[in-house]
């Protein structure tokens, strides 16, 4: 293991909820819960104010509402979260070329790769500077852990939460780990934790005292040896700068089971288009299309089809997903649908119509009559809590709630004081969806001073 605290672990504090609070002045200091808002939704992130009521990530949203009925419940805005995450990752890459993102709000950094942590004091200064830069650029807070290994750096950042910094001095690792519960170590989930507890092992110190042979007997060779090494504070895993994506996928869980086959087909097409958008945003293409269907009885089916070459063409992905749907019995209804693409590559099939024409489907040059459009009843706009909107008269705001034909909007921006609330008909033509506003407005750089030396 390294002899200096050269591994930095950054974990943004309650990231999604913090972004929402920064974006909406009226929610600052209030309980905020982000996630799926339907009866089957789950909590993605809860602000620290909501956690005080017992709300936590992965909790059913219905349970969260019972615990914190007065909290603000919002849908996620992933486009904004990704934009803020990229600002943070840019700051990390300025510290070192070795940055390993784990998610939008979490990453490891190897400071030794840039010489930014020659000793404990220089590592601490680097961590403090990073936290200050994150606050300046995004307006958010992050917790930093510094240690000689990835495992210890992550434990340190957990101890630093919220909005703090913890550095584990080399030589103190065993003493720090000893009293911690075994669930602190990576790889010890509820099942392994219960198994160890039944064997009388509840702390990391007891794990180390049990010895490698006993842990291998209890957990198997690979898991037992790995946990024994971690109990002794041994972790040689390197920071890996690039993680190759294996697949890109999207899925939706529905509040009410879908029975209508036409509706199911439309949902699959919509998911295919969303999946392709993510694929293109990542500059990737893929050759294997995957359909996921969770039926009314919670049975989950997956179907896949491999194309002749990689593609990022939405028509090709849609058609493949629809073909896969034909082989799935949805008679009893479905509660979840997903579309994914794997077998990724950084190039696309040159012949964009090769997939369709290879199955005897008409190529674009073969004239095909367009189906006659059947008039349908107008669909009312669907406004979701937390959604960005713009009103022709009142400007930018966000949806607080909607129902019985009306939508309530609070008009405010990240830089304004808490705004006023107004209610409109959901069909109000002056109200339209909007893009999120930046959390921090960066002042333009002043123009360069004139070069007076060039004058005669």
Instruction: Per residue of the chain (456 residues), give pLDDT as tens.
Output: 556 789 999 999 999 999 999 999 999 999 999 998 877 788 999 999 999 999 998 899 999 999 999 999 999 998 899 999 999 999 999 999 999 998 889 999 999 988 888 889 999 999 999 999 999 999 999 999 999 999 999 999 999 999 999 999 988 999 999 999 999 988 788 888 898 999 999 999 999 999 999 999 988 888 899 999 999 999 988 998 866 667 889 998 887 889 999 999 999 999 999 999 988 888 888 999 999 999 888 888 999 999 888 888 999 999 999 999 998 999 889 999 999 999 887 665 444 444 444 444 443 333 344 444 545 555 567 899 999 999 999 999 999 999 899 999 999 999 999 999 999 999 999 999 999 999 998 766 666 666 666 555
Task: Look at residue 353 in the predicted model and tell me its pLDDT.
Answer: 43
Q: In this structure, are residues 81 and 16 in contact, taking their beta carbons and an 8 Å threshold?
A: yes
Residues 132, 124: Cα–Cα separation, whole Å: 12
pTM listed for this prediction: 0.75
3-state DSSP assignment of residue 34: strand
Q: In this structure, are residues 405 and 19 in contact, taking their beta carbons and an 8 Å threshold?
A: no
Residues 257, 299: Cα–Cα separation, whole Å: 13
Beta-bridge partner residues of 395: 391
Peptide bond into 162 cis (omega under 30): yes
Task: Look at residue 40 in the predicted model and tell me its pLDDT.
Answer: 77
Residues 319, 217: Cα–Cα separation, whole Å: 51
Greatest CA separation for the chain: 88
Q: Which of 146, 124, 159, 149 is nearest to 8 (CA)?
A: 146
CA atoms within 13 A on the CB side of 241: 9
Cβ-proximal residues to 347 (8 Å cutoff; 6+ apart), any chain: 285, 310
Query: Dihedral (C-alpha) 202, 56, 439, 111: value to the nearest 10 degrees?
Result: 10
Residues 74, 53: Cα–Cα separation, whole Å: 17
- Tell me if 163 is assigned to a ligand binding site: no
Q: In this structure, are residues 137 and 149 in contact, taking their beta carbons and an 8 Å threshold?
A: no
Residues 413, 134: Cα–Cα separation, whole Å: 20
Q: Which of 206, 212, 153 is nearest to 180 (CA)?
A: 206
Q: Where are the alpha helices (DSSP H) in 48-189?
A: 48-51, 61-67, 78-95, 120-138, 150-160, 173-177
Q: Where are the alpha helices (DSSP H) in 309-379?
A: 314-325, 354-357
Residues tagged active-site:
106
Q: In this structure, are residues 1 and 236 in contact, taking their beta carbons and an 8 Å threshold?
A: yes
Residues 289, 304: Cα–Cα separation, whole Å: 5
- Tell me if 11 is assigned to a ligand binding site: yes
């Amino acid at each position: 293991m390294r002899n200096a605290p050269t591994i930095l672990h950054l974990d943004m504090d309650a990231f999604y909820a913090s972004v929402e609070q920064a974006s909406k002045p009226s929610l600052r200091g209030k309980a905020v819960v982000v996630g799926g808002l339907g009866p089957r939704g789950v909590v993605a992130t809860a602000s620290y104010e909501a956690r005080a009521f017992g709300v936590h990530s992965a909790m059913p949203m219905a349970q969260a509402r019972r615990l914190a009925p007065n909290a603000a419940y919002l849908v996620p805005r992933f486009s904004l979260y990704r934009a803020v995450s990229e600002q943070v990752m840019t700051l990390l890459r300025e510290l070192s070329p070795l940055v390993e993102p784990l998610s939008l709000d979490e990453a490891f950094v190897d400071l030794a790769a840039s010489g930014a942590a020659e000793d404990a004091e220089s590592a601490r200064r680097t961590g403090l500077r990073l936290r200050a830069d994150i606050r300046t650029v995004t307006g958010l807070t992050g917790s930093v852990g510094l240690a000689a290994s990835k495992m210890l750096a992550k434990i340190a950042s957990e101890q630093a939460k919220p909005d703090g910094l913890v550095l584990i001095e080399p030589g103190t690792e065993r003493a720090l780990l000893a009293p911690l519960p075994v669930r602190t170590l990576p790889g010890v989930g509820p099942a392994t934790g219960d198994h160890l507890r039944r064997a009388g092992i509840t702390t990391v110190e007891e794990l180390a005292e049990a010895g490698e042979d006993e842990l291998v007997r209890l957990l198997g060779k690979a898991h037992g040896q790995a946990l024994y090494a971690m109990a002794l504070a041994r972790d040689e895993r390197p920071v890996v700068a690039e993680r190759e994506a294996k697949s890109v996928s999207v899925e939706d869980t529905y509040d009410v089971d879908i029975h209508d086959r036409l509706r199911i087909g439309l949902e699959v097409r919509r998911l295919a288009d969303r999946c392709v958008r993510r694929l293109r945003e990542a500059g990737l293409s893929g050759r294997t299309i995957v359909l996921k269907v969770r039926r009314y009885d919670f049975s989950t089916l997956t179907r896949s089809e491999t194309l002749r070459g990689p593609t990022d063409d939405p028509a090709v992905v849609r058609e493949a997903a629809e073909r896969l749907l034909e082989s799935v019995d949805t008679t009893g209804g479905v509660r979840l649908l997903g579309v994914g693409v794997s077998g990724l590559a950084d190039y696309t099939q040159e012949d964009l119509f090769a997939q369709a024409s290879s199955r005897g489907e008409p190529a674009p040059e073969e004239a095909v009559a367009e189906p006659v459009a059947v008039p349908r009843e107008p669909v009312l706009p669907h406004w979701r809590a937390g959604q960005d909107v713009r009103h022709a008269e009142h400007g930018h705001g966000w949806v607080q709630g909607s129902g019985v034909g009306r939508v309530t909007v609070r008009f405010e921006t990240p830089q304004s004081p808490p705004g006023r609330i107004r209610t409109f008909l959901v069909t109000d033509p002056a109200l339209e969806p909007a893009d999120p506003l930046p959390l921090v407005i960066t002042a333009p750089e002043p123009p360069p001073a004139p070069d007076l030396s060039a004058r005669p």
